[in-house]
Amino acid sequence: MLFNSLEFALFFPLVFVFSWALAKAHVLRLGMLLMASYAFYACSTPLFLLLLVASSATDFLAGHAMARAERSGQQHTKKLWLIFSLTINLGLLSVFKYTNFFYGSAVQVLSLFGFDATFEPLAIALPVGISFFTFQSMSYSIDLYRGRIELERSWLRFFLFVGFFPQLVAGPIVRAADFLPQLHRLPALSRQQVGRALNLISIGLFKKIIIADALGINLVDRVFDAPSRYSSLELLVGLYGYTMQVYMDFSAYSDIALGSALLLGYRLPDNFDRPYLATSVTDFWRRWHLTLGSWLRDYLYYPLGGSRSSDLQTYRNLFITFLLIGLWHGADWTFVVYGALHASAMCLNRFLRVNVRGRKEHPLSLWGIAWRIFATLHFVVLARIFFRSQTFPQAWEIIRGLAAGTMGFSLMTLPLWALLLGSYAIHWTPRKLVDGSMRGLERLPAPLQGATFGAAVLWIAKRASARAVPFMYFRF
């Protein structure tokens, strides 16, 4: 079920009404939300609902086993249960997402050594959201093992933590320490929360339907489907379009997820902080997909040693982390290259900061900030070639086309220029203006809030394509 579909427009109001009707019957409310979440997931992949339940059950049972081992002083047993949890979750992720990747890579290696091997992809479907809910479920086991959270004794609360539908299939990746305590409290909803939630949902729909889908259909898909037809400038503009499309599409999902959860009385973490205002690649990853970045930082980068050891080991840790970030996004060598490019940039950024500029950051002039934003944005734009290209030949074709230096803008129309430039202008709007307008809408009387939201949704719906376009991160 898509957030931008008629089905969700009918589904969510029913969930909203029933959840608040059961607000004082707390256990019944949680049960209703769990059933609604499972129904939401089953609409897209009914059979794979079993995987979601299996992942939840694994970590719930492993958590109780770790708690018993802790009480008995059996640290080795406790560690074995953690390994069991990680093995099951990573095993599910590997089988359904990476089997064909490893199989195909093995066939290619054998071919290099003269073996007559043919790659026939296995018919393995990718469950929607598996990269998100397995990471979310695993974080509970790891934090419990580390003693950073308390054991969750209620299977109902734990299963809802893993399967809560607003963030289930495309994030944000929610930590148990942030969400489980909310499930122990009676929910509350203020007029300001409603105003903020409606703002987030309408902004998300605007980003998705008016900007991301339009850029994809009218610009990005055309450029990447037939790059040889277009000039170097059109290819570059297509990359600008894709860079904005992927941000608007993914942040739109996060906005709607945050807004939907808030209407149900729960708060989810922010996932983006205007990433195309980043002044370095390091700063970009502090602003882009925040919950994935913090997850890999806390559960991979820091355990590897982070930056506490030698420079060489720090660079190694950065490379491992960012190669896995690339692979997390997709089971293809193009994503590995994408991760390697960002890893290289992170290492270069650290080398310059430590060995050239010194560890102390000095204030930058306005021109210095502008230049860093420009350079960082264009690194991100060019790295997106490998993020979007489905094959290396397609990526090389785009790179050759960019290097050709040809001119021409036959693809671009005035409305398309307005959409592209307007989307960047929206992204770079000063935060004070955005926050001020949000607060103003949140202070409106409830009838005006509803009327404003309804008018915005109707206006967006009239401009939507005939069929709801899936969110891009569903395939990750």
Give the pLDDT confidence of 100-146 residue by residue, as tens digits.
888 888 877 777 777 777 777 777 888 888 888 999 999 999 999 99
CA–CA gap between residue 45 and residue 257 (Å, rounded): 19
Answer whether 335's CB lies under 8 Å from 383's CB: no
Q: What is the 3-state secondary structure (H, E, C) of the chain?
A: CCCCCHHHHHHHHHHHHHHHHCCCCHHHHHHHHHHHHHHHHHCCCCCCHHHHHHHHHHHHHHHHHHHHHHHCCCHHHHHHHHHHHHHHHHHHHHHHHHHHHHHHHHHHHHHHCCCCCCCCCCCCCCCCCHHHHHHHHHHHHHHHHHCCCCCCCCHHHHHHHHHCHHHCCCCCCCCHHHHHHHHCCCCCCCHHHHHHHHHHHHHHHHHHHHHHHHHHHHHHHHHHHCHHHCCHHHHHHHHHHHHHHHHHHHHHHHHHHHHHHHHCCCCCCCCCCCHHHCCCHHHHHHHCCHHHHHHHHHHHHHHHCCCCCCHHHHHHHHHHHHHHHHHHHCCCHHHHHHHHHHHHHHHHHHHHHHHHCCCCCCCCCHHHHHHHHHHHHHHHHHHHHHHHCCCHHHHHHHHHHHHCCCCCCCCCCHHHHHHHHHHHHHHCCCHHHHHHHHHHHHCCCHHHHHHHHHHHHHHHHHCCCCCCCCCHHHHC
For 362, how many CA atoms within 13 A lie in the half-sphere containing its CB?
A: 7
405-411: long-range pairs with CB below 8 Å, 24+:
405/232, 406/231, 406/232, 406/233, 407/231, 407/232, 407/233, 408/230, 408/231, 408/233, 408/234, 409/231, 409/233, 409/234, 409/237, 410/231, 410/234, 411/219, 411/222, 411/223, 411/230, 411/234, 411/237, 411/238
The one-digit pLDDT tens for each residue of the chain (476 residues) are 788 888 888 999 999 999 999 998 999 999 999 999 999 999 877 888 999 999 999 999 999 999 999 998 899 999 999 999 999 999 998 888 888 888 888 877 777 777 777 777 777 888 888 888 999 999 999 999 999 999 999 999 999 999 999 998 887 999 999 999 999 998 888 888 888 899 999 999 999 999 999 999 999 999 999 998 999 999 999 999 999 999 999 999 999 999 999 999 999 999 999 999 999 999 999 999 999 999 999 999 999 988 887 888 999 999 999 999 998 888 889 999 999 999 999 999 888 887 766 555 667 788 888 999 999 999 999 999 999 998 899 999 999 999 988 888 888 889 999 999 999 999 998 888 877 777 777 777 777 778 888 888 888 877 777 677 877 776 66
Contacts of 310 (CB under 8 A, 6+ apart): none
C-beta separation of 454 from 228 below 8 A: no
pLDDT score at 43: 86
Distance set, CA 287 to CA 96, 247, 314 (Å): 29, 11, 21
| Cα–Cα distance, 300 to 308 (Å, whole number) | 14
* Furthest C-alpha separation in the chain: 73
Q: What pTM did the predictor assign?
A: 0.91
User: For residue 310, what pLDDT is reported?
Assistant: 82
pLDDT tens-digit profile of 46-85? 888 999 999 999 999 999 999 999 998 899 999 999 999 9
pLDDT score for 475? 67
What pLDDT is attached to residue 362?
A: 65
Cβ atoms of 251 and 171 within 8 Å: the answer is no
> Which residues form the catalytic set?
329
Which of 199, 193, 210, 214 lies closest to 262 in space, CA to CA? Answer: 193
**What pLDDT, on the 0 to 100 scale, is given for residue 360?**
59
Extents of the domains making up the chain: 24-186, 192-462
